[in-house]
Structure 1
Amino acid sequence: MIYADNAATTPVSDSVLQAMLPYFSKEFGNPSSLYASGRRAKRALESARETVADCLDARPDEIFFTSGGSESDNWAIKMSAKKGKETGKTHLITSEFEHHAVLHSLRSLESGGFTVSALSVHEDGIIRPEELKAALRPETALVTVMTANNEIGTIQPISEIGALCRGAGIPLHTDAVQAAGILPLDVKAMNVDFLSLSAHKFHGPKGVGALYIRKGAGISGLMDGGAQERGLRAGTENVAGIVGLAVALKEACENRKACADRLTAMRDRLIQGALKIPGTRLNGDPVKRLPGNVNLSFEQVEGEALLLLLDQNGICASAGSACTAGSLEPSHVLRAIGLSEPLAHGSLRLTLSCQNTEAEVDEILQILPDVIMRVRSLSSQ
C-alpha cells in the first residue's frame, strides 16, 4: 500500500508511541491530583507545554491544549467574536476557502448578528494583503486566515496580513493545522494573536491539539467546568495525547528543513509526471505550496471512481470534492479558485510525508495514467 493522504492524517511515529505508552497505564495519574502520580502527570503536562511553546517561539502560558484543530478554531473565533461584540465590533474577515471548522463557526456567528467578509483567493489560491487591508473596518472584531490550505496546499502571506491587522489593532487567528511541523511557525514573526494546530497532522495522535493565545489577548474559555488549563479549558487533560503531541511537534521541527527539501523534490517530480497526462491541471500556485501537496484536476474524470480505482491499485488518496460521502457539491476550495464544477469534481489530492519514498512516487506515476484512461473510458460509456 502507498499512503498518499497525509493531509487527512498521519501514522503515529514509533518514538511518539513509546513516549505516550506509560501515560496509559503506569503513569495514569490525574494532573489535578496532589499525590505523587498526579504530580508526575502534571510535570509531564507542563514539560509538553514548554516544548510546544519553544517550537512556536511562544511562552508556555500562551499554550492551551485542546481536542484538536476544530476545537481550537472554534475557541479562537467564537470567543474573539464575543469579546468584540462587547464593544460593538460585529464584523469578521476570513477567506473563501478556509476549513469548515472556520467557515461553520463564522456561519453560526452570522445567525447571531455578525457580518462576515470573505476574501477572494484568486486562481493561484493566495490572498492579496492589499485586499485584506481594504476590507478592514473600525468594527472588525477578528481576521481569521489559514496558514496553508488543506486541499491545495497554498501558503498564505500570514506575516504581512498579521502586520496589517496589528497596525489596525485587530486580532488575527490562523488555522495552522496543515502547516505545523512542515513550515516554520514563529508566532511573533507571523504577528498572530491565535494559532491552531492538531497533532495527528505531524505523526502525533488523533484527538489532541493546541491553541496559542497571545498573552493579553483576553478571550474567555469555550468550555465551562473545572479549572484545567488555567481556568480556560475545562476537562481532565489527555496527558498521553499531549505528551505525544509535544514529542511529535519537536521531532517535526527538528527535521523540518531536511524533510521539506526531500518532500519538495518528490512533490515536483510527481507534478511534472502527472501533468504529462492529457487534460490535467495543477490547482494552486506551483511554488507557494506545502512541500508534500499535489492537487490535480482531470478533464472528463469523476473523483469517486478515480479514488476507488487508485485504492484497487494500492494507493490511498483523496479528492477535492466530497463525493466519497455521496455529495453532489464540488469542493468549495476548488470553486473559490475558479474551477468549473466538472473540473472540481474530477480532482485528486496526493499528500506526501517523509515516510514516503521516491520509489512510491515512481509507482504512482506508473499507475495514474492507466487509471485516468480507465475512468475516462467508463464515463464515456
Structure 2
Amino acid sequence: MTKPITGPLASRGGRVYLDHNATTPLKPAVKAAMVQAMDLVGNPSSVHAFGRTARRAVDEARAGVAALVGVKPAQVLFTGSGTEANNLALRGFSGRTVLVSAIEHDSALAAAPSAAGHDARRLPVRPDGTADLAALERMLADSGPALLSLMLANNETGVIQPVAEAAVLAHAHGALLHCDAVQAAGRLAFSFGALGADLMTLSAHKLGGPAGVGALVLAEGLEPDALIRGGGQERRKRAGTENLLGIVGFGAAARLALEERSAAADLAALRDRLEREALAAVPQARVMGASAARVANTSCLVLPGVPGETQVMGLDLAGVAVSAGSACSSGKVKPSHVLAAMGEDATAASSAIRVSLGWTSDDEAVDRFLAAWTSVARRSGRA
C-alpha cells in the first residue's frame, strides 16, 4: 500500500474528494492559525497598538509566502485571489504587447485583451502540452516591448512548462515574463529567481489555505499600475483593508507547504497507480500530457465518446468528486481549451475529466475512484 498523505482520509461522510486543483481542503494547522487571528481586532494600517499587532501578523505571513518562492517579503503583494493577481500582472504594464500561452487559466486569457486594448497574441503549445519555444522566439522577434504570461503547471493536465527557458528568450528581447504558479506552488520545488520570472501569481486555497487571498510576486524595482485605488495598502498597488484572516492563513499554508514537499513522491505513486489501473480497465481511455513532465498530483483522463460532464455526474452519484477541466466557470462544463490547443478534436476536448490529488488523498480514495469510473465507462459501453 502507498503511504497515505498526512492528514484525514479523503473519505468524508462516505464521499471522496479528488478535486484539489479546484480548491484544497483547509489544513487543520491553517485553520488553527486563522482561529487564533480572530482575536486580533486592529486594522493593520492603524498606528496604535492594536493596529501594530495586526500589522505584525501580516508581515509574518508575507515572510512565509516569500520563503515559499525564495524572495524578499517586500516583493510579495497580497491580492484578493489568484485571478486578481493575474489581472494586476497583465494589465499593469501599458505599452507592452501581451503574449499569453494558449493553455493559460481563463483568468489570464480574459485579462490579456484589456491589457493592450486588443486581443493578446496566443503562444501555441506542442501536442504534449508544453509551450512551443521556437514559436515564442519568432513572436518575440516581431512584437516590440512585450509581456509574456506562461504558467508553471497547467491546471487541467498538470504539464510543467519550460518557464526558465522562456524567460531567457523573453529577456533577450527585452520582454517581461509573468508566471502563474498557482498549481505549482507547494507541489514543485522551485524559486522565483531560478525561473527567471519578473512576476508570479500565487493563491492560498490551492495550498490548503483559505479562498479569497492571493499574491503577486514582483522582481525588485518592478512597479505595475494599480488596479484597485483608494488607499495606501500593499505599497499603493492594491487598495483596501487587508484580509487579515486570509493573509494569516496564507502564511501558515505556505510554511506548511515548505515543510511537506516530500509528500509529492507519495502523490506521484498514487497518481501513477490510478492511471495505470484506469488504462488497464478501460483501454480506450487516454492520459493527456503523459509524455511530458507533470506535477505529481494531476491526471487528465479522456474517455472517448463519453462527455466529461456525464463522467463527473456519474462519479458524483457514486460519491467521488472530480472536475471536467477548470472549475472557475460557475459550474459550467465546456470543451477544454487546453486540450484543443494540444491538437485534440472537439470530441476529445469534451470527453476529459481531471483527477487531482492532495493532502487528503490515499489508496482508499483511488480505489473508490477506479471502481466508480470503470462503472461509468461500462454503462457507456466503453469498457
TM-score relative to the length of structure 2: 0.91
* 2:66 aligned with 1:61: no
| Letter in structure 1 aligned against 2:297 | G
Could you list the structure 1 runs, at least 4 aligned residues long, displaced by more than 4 angstroms after superposition: 321-329
Q: Which stretches in structure 2 are left out of the alignment for 5+ residues?
A: 1-14
Secondary structure of 1:37's counterpart equals helix
Indicate the larger mover: 162-171 or 305-314.
Answer: 162-171
What secondary structure does 2:19 align onto? coil
- Kindly indicate whether the alpha-carbon contact (under 8 Å) linking 2:30 and 2:252 is maintained by their aligned counterparts in 1: yes
* Structure 2: distance between partners of 1:120 and 1:172: 16
Q: Does structure 2 conserve the Cα–Cα contact (< 8 Å) formed by 1:199 and 1:206? A: yes
Would the aligned equivalents of 1:204 and 1:245 in 2 still touch at CA under 8 Å? yes
The one-character-per-residue Cα deviations of 1:173-211 (angstroms, maximum 9, x if unpaired) are 011111111112311100001000110001000000111
What is the rounded CA distance, in whole Å, between the counterparts of 1:231 and 1:293 in structure 2? Answer: 37
2:284 is the alignment partner of 1:271: no
Match of 1:36 in 2: 49
Pair 1:333-2:338 in alignment: yes
User: Aligned AA for 1:199?
Assistant: A
Q: Which residue in 1 is equivalent to 2:58? A: 45
* 1:362 shift after superposition: 2.1
> Partner of 1:246: helix, strand, or coil?
helix
Partner of 1:15: 29
1-structure distance, mates of 2:284, 2:344: 14
Give the counterpart of 1:162 among 149, 162, 167.
167
- Taking a change above 3 Å as real, the CA distance of residues 67 and 15 of structure 1, as seen in their structure-2 partners, is same
Cα offset, 1:236, TM superposition: 0.3
Question: Where does residue 84 of structure 2 map in the other structure?
Answer: 71
Distance 2:370 2:334 in 1: 28
2:230 aligned with 1:217: no
CA distance in 1, matches of 2:292, 2:80: 32
Note the C-alpha offset of 1:107. 2.4
Any idea what SS the aligned residue of 1:275 has? helix
From the superposition, tell whether residues 157 and 27 of structure 1 become closer, same or farther in structure 2 (CA, over 3 Å).
Answer: same
Deviations 1:272-297 (A, max 9, x none): 11112032111113451110101011
CA contact (8 A) 2:153 2:184 kept: yes
Deviation digits for residues 249-272 of structure 1 (CA, Å, limit 9, x no counterpart) = 11112211x211001111111111
Matched, 1:242 2:247: yes
Asked if residue 127 in structure 1 is aligned to residue 154 in structure 2, the reply is: no
The counterpart of 1:374, out of the listed 367, 370, 379, is 379
The alpha carbon displacement at 1:306 in A equals: 1.3
Q: 2:180 aligns with which of 160, 175, 180?
A: 175
Instruction: Evaluate the alpha carbon distance shift between residue 243 and residue 139 of structure 1 in structure 2; reply closer, same or farther with a 3 A threshold.
Output: same
* C-alpha distance in structure 2 between counterparts of 1:263 and 1:343, whole Å: 26
Structure 1 residues 9-53: Cα deviation after superposition (integer angstroms, max 9, x where no partner): 0111110011011322x2121001122111100011111111111
Residues 173-212 of structure 1 correspond to what in structure 2 (within 5 A)? Answer: 173-212=178-217
Q: Distance in 1 between matches of 2:325 and 2:37?
A: 38
Q: Root-mean-square deviation (CA), in Å?
A: 1.9
* Greater displacement, 301-310 / 232-241: 301-310
Q: Which residue of 2 aligns with 1:308?
A: 313
Q: CA deviation at 1:231?
A: 1.5
Q: 1:66 to 1:14 in 2, by over 3 A?
A: same
The one of 90, 99, 107 equivalent to 1:101 is 107
| Aligned partners of 2:81 and 2:214 also within 8 Å | yes
- So what's the TM-score if we normalise by structure 1? 0.92
Whether the 8 Å CA contact 1:125–1:285 is kept in 2: the answer is no
Higher helix share: 1
Partner SS state of residue 179, structure 2: strand
Q: Which runs of 5+ in 1 are unaligned?
A: none
**How much has 1:323 moved relative to structure 2?**
12
3-state DSSP class of the match of 1:139? coil
Give per-residue Cα distances to partners, 1:68-100, cap 9 Å, x unaligned: 1000000011012x1xx1xxx4x2211111111
Residues 174 and 328 of structure 1: CA distance in aligned 2, closer, same or farther (over 3 Å): closer
- CA drift of 1:321 comes to 7.9
2: CA distance between counterparts of 1:40 and 1:321?
Answer: 38
Question: Offset at 1:220?
Answer: 2.1
Retained in 1: the 8 A contact 2:90–2:115? no
Task: Give, in whole Å, the separation in 1 of the partners of 2:239 and 2:347.
Answer: 45
Kept in 2, the 8 Å contact 1:19–1:244? The answer is: yes
**1:262 corresponds to:** 266
- The separation in 2 between residues aligned to 1:142 and 1:285, in whole angstroms, is 29
The C-alpha deviation readout for 1:328-356, integer Å capped at 9, x for no partner, is 84111111111111121111110001320
Going from structure 1 to structure 2, the CA distance change for 1:183 and 1:16 (only over 3 Å counts) comes to same
Tell me, in whole angstroms, the C-alpha distance in 1 between the residues paired with 2:201 and 2:312.
Answer: 30
